[in-house]
Structure 1
Amino acid sequence: MDKSGPTDKSGLYEMDLSQVAWEKSSYSLANGDCVEVAQLPGGAVALRDSKNPDRAPLRFAASEWSAFRRGVQAGELHG
């Protein structure tokens, strides 16, 4: 897969995801309530609900995904 990636958010939604590898955490339960992640070119990611894999996944640029991960690791998203 090309690692350069799209340069803008609209390019993420133009990408064909039919051949990407979807992964879920080994900590996920067997009941199927999981979020799956696919690594995209340029550090972008796509997220989908494992119960509804045919629904359109969300897509995040590398900078958005990094900011989200930093927030989780810093405990900023507790509710």
Structure 2
Amino acid sequence: MRTTRPDLSVATWRKSSHSVNDGGCIEIAEQYPDVMPVRDSKDPNRTPIVVSRTVWGSFVTAVAATNGNLLA
């Protein structure tokens, strides 16, 4: 299923409150109802990826279930 790309010029980006200062962070723009834009906080000018809310929810669930160690 292809997701329509939202107008990200008006995005309000938020970094996780769990982020640490080593630069390994992502930012999300939560104001879009059907999709979740995600970008690298170290390179905010790079084109963000846009995933469905369902995919984002599955990712968050997997991260929580593995305490952030998805390769374990």
Q: TM exceeds 0.5?
A: yes
Runs of 4+ in 1 over 4 A off after TM superposition: none
Matched, 1:39 2:30: yes
Q: Provide closer, same or farther for how the CA distance between residues 9 and 74 of structure 1 changes in structure 2, counting only shifts above 3 A.
A: same
Q: How do 1:1-79 and structure 2 match up within 5 A?
A: 9-11=2-4, 13=5, 15-30=6-21, 32-75=23-66, 77-79=70-72
One-letter identity of the residue aligned with 1:22 = W
Q: Provide the secondary structure at the position in 2 that maps to 1:26.
A: coil
Structure 1, unmatched stretches of 5+, are 1-7
For normalisation by structure 1, the TM-score amounts to: 0.69
Greater RCO (CA < 8 Å, at least 6 residues apart): 1
Report the residue type matching 2:8 in the other structure: L
* Partners of 1:24 and 1:35 in 2: CA distance: 6
Q: Secondary structure at the match of 2:28?
A: strand
* CA displacement at 1:21 relative to structure 2: 0.7
Larger Rg: 1
Question: Unmatched 5+ residue regions in structure 2?
Answer: none
C-alpha RMSD of matched pairs (Å): 2.2
